[in-house]
Amino acid sequence: MSDIYRIRVAQHFADIPAEQWSRLSGAARGLPGAVYNPFVSHAYLSAMEQSGSATADTGWLGQHLLLEQEDGTLLGALPAYLKSHSQGEYVFDHGWADAFERAGGNYYPKLQASVPFTPATGPRLLHRHDLDPASVRQALTAGMKELTRRHGISSAHVTFVPEDEMPALEDAGFLHRTDQQFHFLNAGYRSHDDFLQTLASRKRKALKKERRSALENGIEIDWLTGSDLTEDIWDQFFAFYMDTGGRKWGRPYLTRQFYSLIGERMADDVLLVMARHGGCYVAGAINFIGGDALYGRHWGCIEDHPFLHFEVCYHQAIDFAIDRGLARVEAGAQGEHKLARGYMPVTTHSAHYISHPSLRRAVADYLERERQDVAETGEWLAGHGPFRKGGGPASDED
């Protein structure tokens, strides 16, 4: 990287050239040595803003850091937002905010480097794919700290960080936080039955029964992607999302236009798993297809059927990943119920820069204890997974 560069802050993705963004590692398919992550693509992030889902009006004011040469050539970037709340992040800091404000401080606004409403690990300190990432990461991390200082705000947060980006953040004084998700790891399975053969007999029988039960009321499953994603399909899926999201969260985050935009810009990266009953779609789950992973996001339904959520969100995702030869399925935040369905505990990482010394000390002490708890819980859960002990062949009686 050239020694002469600048960091510019852009409030809108519309002001960032998509062609230059596509040269950043992870942001586009086909880059040498890079694994595509759909959530850091220009198409996805610009759809969040253009659709009105993540804007200043919803508490997400763009503060995207762009590392550029003097001629404007983009070397690296950090998608970031100035936030007036902690909603839609999935790494919870409400307790930190409450404690600081009770002590007379102002926790908000804060700087948040993340993909809005998307609890999936992916590149945050993006670098041009043909550059050594170390110097780019160092410059972007320094830029984030400087932006925090200039705004005079309490903190800066980088969430769902790949583990190889954590050293640059820790070296700059960010605190390390861990959490846990459940991922299906594809060990080269040829079919879902091939995967089932690795499970303990009781677990295998339970999952087979669960899948039969989910479909026994005449439910049929379709995989929709690419040109299948018509506006009529999006209307139907959005109705599921609003119905279920409204009951779970009160106010769903994403607008109807968001789905039209991703359908227009990245349809081949989207998988809708849709369930039909009586000739009509009654439930569905949206997934995004990465270079080596399927990312499950959210689901909705307008009819309740036993086990249909598990079939549409988890079993069908495994089927698709095996069919496409994807290395894993990341099934979103939380959910120990995923363990019985073959999704194993995986540690996730985030980094937090706390400006106020007293708040920083309190958070650092809390995170030390939390990391230990996450590690112990993950180890315990891994030991209680559904897989056969010892890896021997399945019984012919199963």
Alpha-carbon gap, residue 312 to 226, rounded angstroms? 19
Question: Is 224 found in the same domain as 303?
Answer: yes
Listed residue (197, 199, 107) closest to 153, CA to CA = 107
Alpha-carbon gap, residue 159 to 89, rounded angstroms? 8
Which 8-state DSSP code applies to residue 267?
A: G
Question: Is 326 found in the same domain as 199?
Answer: yes
Determine the average pLDDT of the residues in 150-160. 97
Determine the average pLDDT of the residues in 249-257. 85
Question: Is 165 found in the same domain as 76?
Answer: yes
Determine which helix (DSSP H) or strand (DSSP E) holds 263, and give its type and residue range.
helix 256-265
pLDDT in the model for residue 5: 87
Q: How many CB atoms lie under 10 A from the CB of residue 97?
A: 20
* 243 within domain boundaries: yes
Question: Is 224 found in the same domain as 156?
Answer: no
Determine the average pLDDT of the residues in 69-94. 96
Q: How confident is the prediction for the chain on average, in pLDDT?
A: 94
Burial string for 185-211 (b: 16+ CB within 10 Å, else e) reads ebeebeebeebbebbeeebbeebeebb
* 376 within domain boundaries: no
Residue 98: which CATH number? 3.40.630
Determine the average pLDDT of the residues in 221-238. 98
- DSSP secondary structure of 48-62: HHHTTSSSGGGTEEE
* 351 within domain boundaries: no
Question: Is 189 found in the same domain as 143?
Answer: no
Q: How many domains does the chain have?
A: 2
Question: Is 212 found in the same domain as 126?
Answer: no
Question: Is 324 found in the same domain as 257?
Answer: yes
* 385 within domain boundaries: no
Q: Minimum mean pLDDT among 95-99, 181-185, 321-325, 390-394: which range? A: 390-394
Question: Is 54 found in the same domain as 146?
Answer: yes
pTM, full prediction: 0.95
Burial string for 244-264 (b: 16+ CB within 10 Å, else e) reads bbeeeeeebbbbbebbbbbbe
Name the residue range of residue 141's domain. 6-173
Question: Is 314 found in the same domain as 275?
Answer: yes
pLDDT band at residue 251 using 50, 70 and 90 as cut-offs = confident
Choose one of 298, 314, 345: the last residue of a domain: 345
Question: Is 187 found in the same domain as 169?
Answer: no
pLDDT in the model for residue 393: 43
